[in-house]
Amino acid sequence: MTTVYLKSHKEESLKRFHPWVFSGAIARVVLDASHKASAPEEGELVCVRSSAGEVLGVGHWQVGSIAVRILAFGVEHLPDDFWNERIRAAYRMREALGLVRCNKDNDTYRLVHGEGDWLPGLIVDVYADMAVVQAHSVGMHVCRRAVAKAIVEEVPQVKGVYYKSDDTLPFKAPVEGEKTGWLRSGGVPNSDEFWSLENGLSFRIDWLRGQKTGFFIDQRENRALVERYANGKEVLNMFCYTGGFSLYALRGGAKSVDSVDVSQKAIDLVNVNVARNFPDATNHTAVTADAFDYLSAQRAKGTTYDLIILDPPAFAKHRDAVRNALRGYQRINAKAIEMIRPGGILFTFSCSQAVDKEAFRLAVFSAAAQVGRKVRILHQLHQPQDHPINIYHPEGEYLKGLVLYVE
Ligand code: SAH
């Protein structure tokens, strides 16, 4: 196996279980005999050693500033049952959380959350009896069949495994084989007829054409909180996607719910989901529109709401975009706060990993100050328990939200 030697003193973070080796920490790479090229192949397994030769771990080689993502610490090779052992551990954790098996109201959960489950570069979301696997590294792409095998062996409910990595693998990476398609078909119905259950609500999951793996599981707990506050309220769910927050608001007794998203496909699914869960509802309206246009047009008409949810896509996809992203968060939050009736509530989120909670809070503070409303923080929200943050890898924290009381 190829061996990567670190510069002296660069082993400290690995000894503290941080799973990334940056290219600047590498002193030299000794290729194994099979190599024709002068560098390791992207996605190949390499052994990482300190400058003194001590074994630190084994991981996937990557091209870029993160050169290796460690899969197993303190070993030279992956153990034979590595994939089964990791998937089993991830599943056991979700069982312990009460998300699976004993929970008849819920079969939607994240099984693997990358570094948070000691599997850097891998995401697995489970919907009823199928799993959607997403590779964010070439190494995980190379291992996709082993991952699928371990999932069907270790997760009793899962029969089908679909692979969906066309948008997540590094751009330009040399990838062999399909980036999307069934790894195990398992007789699962196609994505036009597929339903999954979250806290007793049914959602159509279109993993083929939908965003990410088909659904945003990370808002489950925050949706439940919206349900608690929704009774009797006129609600706007902005950036609604397939209507997650809208269904909870309807079940919570909202007087009316307006769901808005720029994607027509998403709005079609909101209507399908509302019809399935609340066939007699006459208090739900779905609108295909850009968020800024919609808020400006409604403001001009004098529309106000008791409760607004703002859950935009990541405004900053990487560090260079943070300043613009913060301006975007300020603008959209100012527009929403203006439209909240006195005594109303705003749920506002950011899923940009590059924008930390302090920066986000400052953007929301600036929005409140800009429109001159008195605002208090009721809750500080984050990603749920099936999206765990590895304490040695704080970069895994990405979702943050504030619930505000607006006077
Ligand atoms: N709240 C959703 C997830 C939101 S994801 C849930 O609970 O499932 C972000 C959504 O914002 C996507 O559905 C995307 O289509 C939508 N979106 C992106 N840009 C937009 C814009 N300018 N105006 C309105 N919606 C937008």
Q: What does the pLDDT profile of the chain (407 residues) look like in tens digits?
A: 999 999 999 999 999 999 999 999 999 999 988 887 788 999 999 999 999 999 999 999 999 999 999 999 999 999 999 999 999 999 999 999 999 877 789 999 999 999 999 999 999 999 999 999 999 999 999 999 999 999 999 999 999 999 999 999 988 888 999 999 999 988 877 777 899 999 999 999 999 999 999 999 999 999 999 999 999 999 999 999 999 999 999 999 999 999 999 999 999 999 999 999 999 999 999 999 999 999 999 999 999 999 999 999 999 888 888 999 999 999 999 999 999 999 999 999 999 999 999 999 999 999 999 999 999 999 999 999 999 999 999 999 999 999 999 99
Residues 6+ apart with CB under 8 A from 226: 235, 245, 248, 249, 252, 307, 309, 347
Three-state DSSP state, 3: strand
DSSP H helical segments within 252-321, as ranges?
264-277, 291-301
332 backbone dihedrals φ, ψ, rounded to 5°? -70, -35
- Which residue among 241, 331, 347 is best mutated to probe the pocket of ligand 1, counting the most ligand atoms within 8 A of its Cβ? 241
Asked if 174 and 96 touch (Cβ cutoff 8 Å), the reply is no
Residues 6+ apart with CB under 8 A from 8: 27, 50, 51, 52
DSSP string, 122-141: EEEEEETTEEEEEESSHHHH
Locate tokens 């706007």: which residue?
A: 236
Which atom, in ligand 1's list, is nearest to the CA of 351?
5
Closest CA to ligand 1's atom 11: 239
**Residue of 47, 143, 240, 351 marked active site:** 351
- For residue 350, list its beta bridge partners: 400
Residues 6+ apart with CB under 8 A from 189: none
Question: DSSP secondary-structure letter at 221?
Answer: H
- Which residue among 211, 258, 262, 317 is best mutated to probe the pocket of ligand 1, counting the most ligand atoms within 8 A of its Cβ? 262
Element (H, E) at 226: helix 220-229
Q: d(Cα 315, Cα 106) in Å, to the nearest integer? A: 30
Asked if 272 and 204 touch (Cβ cutoff 8 Å), the reply is yes
Protein residues whose CB sits closer than 6 Å to any atom of ligand 1: 211, 216, 219, 239-242, 244-245, 261-263, 266, 290-291, 311-313
Q: What is the largest CA-CA distance in the chain?
A: 72
- For residue 348, list its beta bridge partners: 310, 402
Closest CA to ligand 1's atom 1: 240
Asked if 393 and 378 touch (Cβ cutoff 8 Å), the reply is no
